[in-house]
Amino acid sequence: MAYDKFTVLRSTAVPLAIENVDTDQLIPARFLKATERVGFGDNLFRDWRYNPDNTPKKEFVLNNPMYSGKILVGGKNFGSGSSREHAAWAVYDYGFRCVVSSFFADIFKNNCLNIGVLPVQVSPEFADKIFRAIEADPKTEIEVNLPEQTISLLATGESERFDISAYKKDNMINGFDDIDYLQNIKGEIQEFAANLPL
C-alpha cells in the first residue's frame, strides 16, 4: 500500500518511557476484526488509554494535552510480540510517522518500514537525553532527517546518526514499497522456482 514519502520530519514528540511495549498494548486482539485498514488509530494503546467504560485514563500520556507530535519515543524493546501489522497501522493512523527507541522488536520494525513509519533506533544514552529533554520541556522539537540519517534535538543541537538499509531508505524517501520491486523481477522468481531442489 502506498504511503506518504518521508524525508525530513520536524516535530514535538510523545514520550512513553516503558520497556517491552508489546503489540497487544499497541492494539489489543479484539480490535483486529476489520477486513479493511480503517480506524486502527482510535484503538492505539486502547487499554492504557481508556477505562473499561471508555472514559479516557487521564494519567496516560496520549491523553495528556501537554504532549503531542508526529514522533513517538518508546522504551527499550518496543513492539515485541505479535506479527500483527495492525500495530504499525495503529501507530500510523493515529498520526505518528516516526517511532524512536533504543531497541525494536524485529517484526514490528519490519512492519513499520513496510507501511511508512520510520523506526529510529538510538543509543540508550541518546534515548535518555530525549526523554529528559521532553520532561523538561514538552514542546521540545526533534528533527529526524532520513537522507542524512540523523536525529537531533533542535534546541541544543545534540544529534545522533541512525542506521537504515540503503534500499529501505530509498523506498521511504520515494514512497515505494517492496511489491513494486518484486513485481519487476517476477520472471527471475519463476525461473528460480522451477529450479528449486524439491
Which spans of this chain sit near another protein (rule: CB under 8 A)? 1, 17-20, 22, 24-25, 28-30, 32-37, 47, 52, 75-77, 80-86, 88, 103-107, 110-111, 114-115, 165-168, 177-179, 181-183, 185-186, 188-190, 192-193, 196-198
Q: Which is nearer to another protein, 42 or 178 (CB)?
A: 178
Residue 8 beta carbon to another protein: minimum distance, rounded to whole angstroms:
21
Q: Which is nearer to another protein, 156 or 174 (CB)?
A: 174
Residue 125 beta carbon to another protein: minimum distance, rounded to whole angstroms:
15
Residue 119 beta carbon to another protein: minimum distance, rounded to whole angstroms:
13
Query: What is the CB neighbour count within 10 angstroms for residue 36?
Result: 5
Q: Which is nearer to another protein, 137 or 167 (CB)?
A: 167
Residue 43 beta carbon to another protein: minimum distance, rounded to whole angstroms:
12
Residue 55 beta carbon to another protein: minimum distance, rounded to whole angstroms:
14
Query: What is the CB neighbour count within 10 angstroms for residue 51?
Result: 10
Q: Which is nearer to another protein, 113 or 151 (CB)?
A: 113
Q: Which is nearer to another protein, 137 or 178 (CB)?
A: 178
Residue 11 beta carbon to another protein: minimum distance, rounded to whole angstroms:
24
The per-residue b/e assignment along 156-188, b for 16 or more CB within 10 angstroms, e otherwise, is eeeebebebeeebbebbeeebbeeeeeeeeeee
Q: Which is nearer to another protein, 42 or 192 (CB)?
A: 192
